[in-house]
């Protein structure tokens, strides 16, 4: 189709680009994630578990150091029936929950501060980046010396693990906010805290949610080191107990419990934060 100018007539070489028709409805990645699509995520782990079960049953594998899934599940069932599993799971969940809460509060505060203030960033960021490189296990003797071997040191260690991904992601995301949004906020004479709360944080919300999930994952990793610090209950205690008594099935049962709880809490966090991200018109991959 040729473009026609009202005065000069047809413009040679110019053509209207036809408007693309809407693509036919396809099964998107989001659709696979809803309904029963989550069952696809179980195909690989169940397949591997069945494969190892068959290998041990047929004598192709040694089930002493790596017990088959049937023994691991039997150990979990025994712990569940006796009530020990519930006690250990609740203790670990309590520590992770408190550590996650304190880590999120501190990471959000310092991330917003260093992202908004150049002076705060130059003053605090070098020190925090250096502390971020310290392995989690290196904090254990320090926290035992400062806070003892009880719950305080464990919760603080988990909070340290949660703090850094949230701080780093939020600070970097604020620095990447479109300058026009900040100028609009200043036109409306928003104060510093108001600008952070009403402009910068909403603009960084997608990155912030991903940081929350990363921090939660590190919280589950740090709780293992935390429960090495003289804990008498918790899934980390079960790991140590299985190591000391040579029960490989108990170690794997604890690891399986960590994996299931970590996935469930990550899913719960995704569900809770999804309403805040519905405004996104993001890419939906095809199946």
Residues 266, 214 contacting (CB under 8 angstroms): no
Distance CA 4, CA 138 (A): 74
Per domain, the residue ranges of the chain are 67-276
Nearest to 195 by CA among 184, 211, 209, 206: 184
Residues 243, 251 contacting (CB under 8 angstroms): yes
In this structure, which topology does domain 67-276 adopt according to CATH?
MetI-like fold (1.10.3720)
Q: For the chain, 287 residues long, give each residue's pLDDT as a single digit of tens.
A: 444 544 445 545 444 444 444 444 444 444 444 556 667 878 888 888 898 888 888 888 777 888 888 899 999 999 999 988 999 999 999 999 999 999 999 999 999 889 888 899 999 999 999 998 888 788 888 888 888 888 888 899 999 999 999 999 988 888 888 888 878 888 888 887 787 777 877 788 888 899 999 999 999 988 888 887 777 788 888 888 888 888 888 989 999 999 999 999 999 998 898 887 777 666 666 55
Please state the pTM of the whole predicted model: 0.77
Torsion-angle region of residue 268: left (phi > 0), alpha (psi -120 to 50) or beta?
A: alpha
């Amino acid at each position: 189709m040729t473009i026609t100018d009202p005065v000069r007539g047809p413009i040679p070489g110019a053509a209207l680009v036809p408007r693309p028709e809407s693509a036919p409805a396809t099964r998107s990645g989001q659709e696979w994630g809803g309904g029963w699509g989550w069952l696809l995520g179980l195909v690989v782990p169940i397949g591997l578990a069945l494969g190892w079960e068959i290998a041990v049953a047929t004598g192709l594998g040694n089930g002493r150091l790596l017990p088959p899934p049937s023994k691991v599940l039997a150990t979990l069932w025994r712990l569940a029936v006796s009530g020990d599993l519930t006690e250990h799971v609740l203790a670990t969940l309590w520590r992770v929950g408190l550590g996650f809460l304190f880590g999120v509060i501190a990471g959000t505060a310092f991330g917003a501060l260093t992202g908004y203030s150049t002076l705060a960033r130059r003053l605090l960021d070098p020190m925090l980046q250096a502390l971020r490189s310290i392995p989690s296990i290196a904090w254990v003797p320090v926290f035992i010396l400062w806070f003892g071997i009880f719950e305080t040191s464990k919760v603080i260690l988990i909070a340290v693990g949660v703090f850094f991904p949230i701080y780093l992601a939020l600070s970097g995301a604020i620095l990447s906010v479109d300058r026009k949004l900040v100028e609009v906020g200043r036109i409306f004479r928003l104060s510093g805290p108001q600008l952070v709360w009403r402009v910068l944080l909403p603009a960084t919300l997608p990155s912030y949610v991903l940081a929350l999930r990363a921090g939660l994952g590190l919280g589950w990793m740090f709780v293992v080191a935390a429960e090495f610090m003289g804990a008498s209950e918790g899934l980390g205690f079960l790991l140590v107990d299985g190591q000391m008594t040579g029960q490989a099935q108990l170690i794997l049962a604890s690891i399986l419990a960590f994996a299931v709880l970590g996935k469930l809490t990550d899913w719960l966090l995704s569900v809770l934060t999804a309403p805040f991200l519905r405004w996104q018109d993001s890419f939906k991959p095809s199946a």
